[in-house]
Structure 1
Amino acid sequence: MKKWFSICVTISVYLGCCSYSKAQTVQGTPVKLHEQNTMSVLWFQKSGEAKALYYQGYNLGKLRLDEYLSKKKNRTNLKPAIVLDIDETILDNSPYLASYAVSGNGNPFDWSKWFDRAEDKPLPGALEFLNYADSKGIEIYYITNRFEAQKKATINNLQKVGAPQADGEHVLLLQPGEKGKESRRKYVAKTHDIVLLFGDNLGDFSEFEGLSVTERIKKTEKYKDSWGSKFIMLPNPMYGDWEEAIYNYDYRKRDEEKVKLRKEILETR
């Protein structure tokens, strides 16, 4: 009897150790934020809904541009212009993000080598709208937070896909010491009447830089009449200030802490 009891205890301890070891392995599995982005990238690349939103945004932009041109005499004498972001507004970087969702290797936000390839494809409706605006004599300014060192590759990519007015004068990149895009928008506004702004991030519009999650939502409500009027927002669930605001704009946080903050901010029943 004692022998059997001893055997049972040994088996129980062994199973318990196995279970504990298994639990530790599961808990200790490295967090892979790239894999968590899989659904966002899939939606962006493969959903008809994403493409519909781009067409909708650019169709709406054309309507608003036509309205402006029909009432031009009632506005300033400054030359009309439109301002657009580039990444996920005109050019599609999702294959780059998809590669990290698949491999899980490296830092997905070190864009330099990808930009240098200048292989981004245009997003739905973008070129049609840009060429229409160009045909109407509208100045087009591409304001992006790509670094100045990437200017040549950026202009090359825009020209390769057929984007009009893609030159050194109209492609304005992030300058050393600059935060956000507001100074470049003001630079354009000195000599132009900015009719429309396009972007996939609230930072592509005025007064949204560096705001908390709650403040971003409140400010969005403040400008509710501008969305679809002067501001055209395009979809990007893959990355952006909306995520960085969750981390208080500290992207150096450990991945485990980012996951914790993501879950804490979710609203549940």
Structure 2
Amino acid sequence: MKKLIISVSAAGLILLFSASSGYAETITKPPTRLYEQNTMSILWFQNSGEAKALYFQGYNIGKMRLDEILRKKQYNRALKPAIVLDIDETILDNSPHQASYVVNGKGDPRDWSKWIKRADAKLLPGALDFLRYADSKGVEIFYISNRQEAAKESTIKNLQKVGVPQADANHVLLQQESENGKENRRQQVAKTHDILLLFGDNLGDFSGFDGLTDRGRLETVNKLKEEFGKKLIVFPNPMYGDWEGAIYDFNLKKPWQEIEKIRRDHLQTYEP
């Protein structure tokens, strides 16, 4: 039986996701203002120096940690050293796709396939320099994304176009129909490699976060606080992600009016 997860994209489009297949379909059309609620998130991501600084910071920390681990040989030398990275909003910038929902006030999540086929996403700051550095140190690089396997050719084409090293079928691991999350692919890599560092914009890019409530995610972050900046490197993405789905308890059968109310109810404010 396929598990169904309801989610609302940050752009406000209400979707129905099959966790096993990753397929999404529109189940209701939200008002234009729900799309527009993502305007500031996308503006910040695309235009703020702070967003770019955080990417540089994350990859700088990654380089320092990689140097330290390799220099001190702090890994299982019986295995090959490796790093694991997400792709979207970690290496490639898909914010133009998100912006299209805001500008046009409409859209279909299946348009992600059209965007991916363009293979035209640009690099995020610091990504290429870090990846080339890791490659020069003989570290294997695995790109683990929840893009569907059908998008593999276009994904590899995009990565190769921007000069990312080791962007081939053996290192680009996309989601299979039977999968829910990335843990299985991480475990497959770990059978033959010691994963030194993991990079992502979503807590689901790390072990232990799949399917957690918003409170559960915060609690798990607290438990793993020593690992952030040490083994786990997080990048900013206010545009979309499991952080939003968790607020709705991953229940997308809610009407858009309720979704909008939940958003407002989760804001922490004060009495003026």
Normalised by the shorter chain, which TM-score bucket?
0.7 to 0.9
1:82, distance to aligned residue in structure 2 (A): 0.2
1:110, distance to aligned residue in structure 2 (A): 4.0
1:94, distance to aligned residue in structure 2 (A): 0.2
Q: Distance in 2 between the 1:243 and 1:251 partners?
A: 11
Q: Letter of the aligned partner of 2:87 in structure 1?
A: I
Confirm or deny: 8 A CA contact 1:208 1:216 kept in the other structure.
Answer: yes
Structure number with the higher helix fraction is: 1
Q: Distance in 2 between the 1:180 and 1:158 partners?
A: 22
Instruction: State which drifts further: 99-108 or 202-211.
Output: 99-108
- Equivalent residue number for residue 180 of structure 1: 181
Query: Does 1:59 pair with 2:60?
Result: yes
Q: What are the residue-to-residue correspondences of 1:100-139 with 2, within 5 Å? A: 100-108=101-109, 110-139=111-140
Q: Letter of the aligned partner of 1:125 in structure 2?
A: G
- 1:80-112 alpha-carbon deviations (Å, 9 max, x no partner): 000000000000000111111111111356411
1:180, distance to aligned residue in structure 2 (A): 0.4
- 1:175-207 alpha-carbon deviations (Å, 9 max, x no partner): 012000000000000000000000000000000
Confirm or deny: 8 A CA contact 2:32 2:106 kept in the other structure.
Answer: no
Confirm or deny: 8 A CA contact 1:31 1:256 kept in the other structure.
Answer: no
- Equivalent residue number for residue 198 of structure 1: 199
Q: What are the residue-to-residue correspondences of 1:18-57 with 2, within 5 Å? A: 30-57=31-58
Confirm or deny: 8 A CA contact 2:144 2:185 kept in the other structure.
Answer: yes
What TM-score comes out, normalization by structure 1 length?
Answer: 0.87
Q: Distance in 2 between the 1:68 and 1:47 partners?
A: 32
1:32, distance to aligned residue in structure 2 (A): 2.8
Going from structure 1 to structure 2, the CA distance change for 1:195 and 1:74 (only over 3 Å counts) comes to: closer
Q: Distance in 1 between the 2:99 and 2:110 partners?
A: 12
Going from structure 1 to structure 2, the CA distance change for 1:242 and 1:80 (only over 3 Å counts) comes to: same
Structure number with the higher strand fraction is: 2
What TM-score comes out, normalization by structure 2 length?
Answer: 0.86
- Equivalent residue number for residue 228 of structure 1: 229
Q: Letter of the aligned partner of 1:91 in structure 2?
A: L
Unaligned runs of 5+ in 2: 1-29
- 1:108-132 alpha-carbon deviations (Å, 9 max, x no partner): 5641110010000000000000000
Confirm or deny: 8 A CA contact 2:75 2:196 kept in the other structure.
Answer: no
- 1:49-74 alpha-carbon deviations (Å, 9 max, x no partner): 00000000000000000001111166
- Equivalent residue number for residue 88 of structure 1: 89
1:256, distance to aligned residue in structure 2 (A): 1.9
Q: Distance in 2 between the 1:127 and 1:156 partners?
A: 15
Going from structure 1 to structure 2, the CA distance change for 1:163 and 1:238 (only over 3 Å counts) comes to: same
Q: Distance in 2 between the 1:239 and 1:109 partners?
A: 15
Going from structure 1 to structure 2, the CA distance change for 1:195 and 1:232 (only over 3 Å counts) comes to: same
- Equivalent residue number for residue 7 of structure 2: none
1:75, distance to aligned residue in structure 2 (A): 3.7
Unaligned runs of 5+ in 1: 1-28
Q: Letter of the aligned partner of 1:51 in structure 2?
A: K
Q: Letter of the aligned partner of 1:265 in structure 2?
A: H
Q: Secondary structure at the match of 2:152?
A: helix
**Matched residue pairs, number?**
241
Q: Letter of the aligned partner of 1:134 in structure 2?
A: D
Going from structure 1 to structure 2, the CA distance change for 1:136 and 1:175 (only over 3 Å counts) comes to: same
- Equivalent residue number for residue 11 of structure 1: none
Confirm or deny: 8 A CA contact 1:31 1:255 kept in the other structure.
Answer: no
- Equivalent residue number for residue 147 of structure 2: 146
- Equivalent residue number for residue 158 of structure 1: 159
Q: Letter of the aligned partner of 1:162 in structure 2?
A: G
Instruction: State which drifts further: 201-210 or 245-254.
Output: 245-254
Confirm or deny: 8 A CA contact 2:75 2:81 kept in the other structure.
Answer: no
Among the aligned pairs, what percent are the same residue? 65
Q: Letter of the aligned partner of 2:172 in structure 1?
A: V
Q: Letter of the aligned partner of 1:38 in structure 2?
A: T
Confirm or deny: 8 A CA contact 1:118 1:156 kept in the other structure.
Answer: yes
Q: Secondary structure at the match of 2:195?
A: strand
Q: Distance in 2 between the 1:35 and 1:122 partners?
A: 25
1:33, distance to aligned residue in structure 2 (A): 1.8
